[in-house]
Structures are given as C-alpha cells and as structure tokens.
Amino acid sequence: MKGQWILPYVKKYKRGIAWTAFFGLLASVSAVALLFVSGFLLTKSATQPENILMVYIPIVAVRAFGVSRAVFRYSERLTAHQAVLKILSDMRVRLYRGLLPVVEKGSHLLHAGDTLGLLAEDIERLQDIYIKTVMPAVSALALYLLSALWFGFFSWEMGALAALYTLIYMTLVPYWSYRRAVSFVQEWKPKRAGLYKETSEAVFGIGEWLLSGRFMELAGRFRQADEAMRSVEWKYSRFIRARGIFLQTVTAGLVLIVLAWAGSGAESGSLAPTLVAAFVLFIFPLTETLIPISDAVGELPRYTHSTERLNRLEAEEDLQDSQSWKPEHEGKHIFFGDVSFHYEASQPVLKHLQAEWRPGCRVALLGPSGAGKSTMLNLLRGVCFPFHGEVVVEGRPASAWGERITEKIAVLNQSPYLFSTTVENNIRLGRPDASMEEVKQAARQAQIYDAVNALPEGFHTNMQEAGARFSGGQRQRIALARVLLQDTPIVILDEPAVGLDPRTEQALMEDVLEALKGKTVIWITHHLSGLEQMDEICFLDQGRITMRGTHEELMRTSPRYQRLYGLDQPGAVHREKQTTTK
C-alpha cells in the first residue's frame, strides 16, 4: 500500500463510496424531476383544466420528488461522511506510524512546520478527494448520460446536441480548471509551507522573541508570510469568479437552445406545449450537478502535491530502515551493539553499551536513578533511537519493527492504566480477538481468577476509573493477565511492585516470574529481593554496565554487590552466611 494514498482506500471502502454515489445520483435525479414536473404542473394549470384530476398526478409527483430530494441528499451526506471518517482514521494512523520513527530519528526532511503541514494540510486535503471529487464525479457522469438519453427520447438530434454541449461542463472547463490549479499550487504550496514554518518557530520560540525585545520583528515576518500566501489565493479566487461567470453564461446559452427547441417542437406539434417550461426548468438542477465537476478537477493538483509529500515521508522511513538493517543481526534475540545515547542538551545517558541476551533468559537491571535503565528499555521498544551503535530485537533493528514491536515486547510497569470498563475488557486489551476462555486462562496464570470470579458480576465487573475498584496488588495482577494474553516472547518489568507492602510485593513478583517462565524477562528494580532467580544481573552506573553476573557469582566476587545486597536484604545475608558456615 506504500506509495498509494487514494486507490487502496477506494477499494477498501468501495461499498460506502458506491452507496454515496448512488444516493447522490438519486438526489440529483429527484431535483431534476422536481423542476421538470413543476414546470409541467405550472403550464398545465395555466391552461385551466376542466378537472382537478388532470393535474393531480403532477401535484403528487412534485411533493414526492420534493421530499425524496431531501431524503436522498441526507442519505448521501450520511454515507459519505461515514465512509470518509473511516478513511481519514486509517490515513491518520498510517501517517502517525510513518511520522513517529522519522521525527524521532531527527530526519533532515522534517521540521515542526513540515510535520504541521502533513497533519493539518495534507491528510485533511486527501479526505476531500472522496467528498468533493470521486463521489460527485460518479453521480454527475451518470446524470449526464441519463439527461442525454432523456432528451434523445423526444429527439435524437437534441439528445446529441445536449450531450455535446454539456461536455463543456465535463471536459473543457475542468481541463481549464486543472491547468490553472497546477500553476496555483506550484506557487501557493511554498508560501503555505513558509507560513507554517514561521508559525511553528513563533510558537516554540515566543519566549526568546519576547525576552530579546524583537516581538515586532517576529510579527512582521509572520504578517509578510501570511500576505504572500493570501496574494496567491486572491489571484486564484479571481479565476474562480471568472470561471463561475463563464459557466453561468454557458448555462444561459443552454437554456436558450432548449427553449428554442421546445418552442419549435410545440409549434410544430411534435412536443406538447406543457413540456416547454418543464424542459427549460430541467436545465437548472442538471447544470447545478455538472458545474461542481470543475471545482473537483481543480483540486486534483493539491491532492497530487499532498500524496507526493506523504510518499516522500514513507520513502524516508524505508531508507532509514534499509540503512540500519544488517545481515549479521539475523539470529540475535536482544542485542545492544556499542550503543550511545543522550537527550537534547544533556550529558550522555548511555556510553558505548554492549550487551546480548538469548531467548528465555532472565535479566535484572539495577542502578541508581538516571543510570540509563529506562533509556535502555526505550531503545529496545523503538521509542527512541541510538545516536551511535545498534539495538536489535529478534534479528531486526528495534526501530524497524514500528508498531509491530508490540508483537515482540510487552511491558508491565509501575502503574499500568486500567480503564473504567469491565475486567474482561481490560485484560482483552492484550489481544482483542482472544476468546473468553483465553481471558480466563490468563487470569488464572496471573493468580487473579478466583478474586474476580468471586465477585457478583465476575469478569463483567466494572473496574471504575483507573481501576479504583481493586487494590494495588490486584490491579497489577490484572495488568499481568493482559501481558500474558498479549503473549510476546519478551516481557519488560519496570518495577511493577513499587509502592506495595513487602509481603504483597514478594508474592506478586513470585507469581509474575512463575507466570513468565519460558519468556525473556528484563526486570528493572531497585530491590534485590528475588534476584536469586535471575540468569543475569547487570548494574548500570553512568551509562555503562559496571557489574554483571549471576547472584551467586556477584556475591563471591563483588564487594559492592555484597554491600548493596546486605543493605537491602540484611536477613538474607545473615542466612547465607550461616549456610556457608555450616
């Protein structure tokens, strides 16, 4: 689907677009029929029919077409906006997924103004192609053919003439609009981008401008950019007015042609006199449907420019991913290769970090606040990107996974958010298509099934806002069930037991580690209780791993670890010493 921002959505939502075009056609036919029958009714009534029954059918038809026009127009709007809102949602998700890695990698193609343009201009512009171009064009084309056939039913010469004449609405003027719009967009888009750039710089740097006393200079630059853009828009609006006058003149010419034909037919007896006004009034709703085609075609250059910008974004994303991929990473489960990272205007957080972990291993990350533990996990999840070195997950750079990283890594953090909905729905967030039995099995593994099942409403119990219905330990177990249902090969535990009392903390961590058997577990913790169960303990300090090994190895070889363990678990150290003495 990359490189295409229109056709895939037309195919995906073709039913909604087709229904919209169908209702639009019916609304236009009703409008045309309303004026046609109204003209007939007026003329017939003016002849003073001897019986009301002579005009009863046209009266009913006028009311029917008047009501149906409003009904079909409403149906058209309803189906159009339903389809377009779904398309717009898909587009925004796709754009966000493309923007996230490119922006966070500091792409040279995008600054704040570009991002604002993509979000506020290009995606919003592309939604118009369905409402203003695709759907109206289909309805107008169908109505054009029907009108030609309708004229041809009374006179094939007039049908052919009407078809050729109305091609002005369908081809000549739209082509003129397209060529003029191309030159307008080429001139207008850079002006628009300049205004976005000035706006973003003004917003982000307003404090500095005020402090430096140069606010008027900023205002002048903004005003100049705005005037440059509006001058181009003013020139194009002049063209729009000129085109409107031309189309109204063409419509007047068509009215005169139809009037002459109908009058001649009525005089010769080949056409009923009561149809003269009907055919003349017929022209107005017909042309009202055909005239917007010029506007629709005139928008095509804007759509083209928007799709080109969006395609450049995806090309940049693909380029970055292809440049970061290396064949030698295949087979690597978790790998940090000479990784360095720092946030803006700060000291390096990670310095040439090197680590590799195999599938199914259990790793504890220790270290003081600011040592880089959370940064390591953010790099692993692709939330941020290393300035040097590479972070690999399952044989691919972490950044290359994009949104699919959630298929590989799940996170149980300090305060997982629980929504004000049922327990079942909160657990099911891990995998929306899971069956009820799978939800319950995850709850059993998390040791929360009995507590939930004992409630009057069971898994349909509402958790209330932020899970207030349950205790802290229970909320964490429900979040653990969500993680288990997600069933990823890697699970990150970001101090999930913090804030709990010691007994609840110990029970929770024992159940968590038991439930995650067979998975790769990376556990950030400040407490050293339970580290005996870990395959490797890594101590981070000032952006580097300064201690590494199992609990037993570090207790034998590292005085610093012994001291930390003694401070955190004095009773355990005493027991270990007694065991060693015996």
pLDDT tens, position by position, 165-224: 888 888 888 888 888 888 887 787 777 767 766 666 666 566 555 666 666 776 777 788
At 361, is the pLDDT very low, low, confident or very high (cuts 50, 70, 90)? very high
pLDDT tens, position by position, 474-520: 888 888 888 888 888 999 888 777 767 777 777 888 888 888 888 99
Judged against a pLDDT cut of 50, whether residue 110 lies above it is answered with: no
Judged against a pLDDT cut of 80, whether residue 109 lies above it is answered with: no
User: DSSP strand E in 102-169: where?
Assistant: none
For the entire predicted model, the pTM comes to 0.49
Please count the residues of the chain: 582
Q: What is the DSSP string of 206-247?
A: HHHHHHTT-HHHHHHHHHHHHHHHHHHHHHHHHHHHHHHHHH
**∠ at Cα 480 (475, 481), nearest 5°?**
100
* Secondary structure percentages of the chain, helix, strand, coil, to 5: 70, 10, 20
Domains of the chain: 89-321 (1.20.1560.10), 334-581 (3.40.50.300)
Both structure tokens of 515: 């439930």
Name residue, tokens 């191309």: 182
> How many Å apart are CA 125 and CA 96, to the nearest integer?
16
Both structure tokens of 556: 């034998």
End-to-end CA distance of the chain: 69
DSSP 545: E
Residue type, 44: K
DSSP 315: H
> How many Å apart are CA 121 and CA 142, to the nearest integer?
31
DSSP 485: H
Name residue, tokens 């008027």: 216
Contact 509, 530 (CB under 8 A): yes
pLDDT for position 106 = 44
Both structure tokens of 565: 């363990």
SS3 276: helix
> How many Å apart are CA 16 and CA 227, to the nearest integer?
40
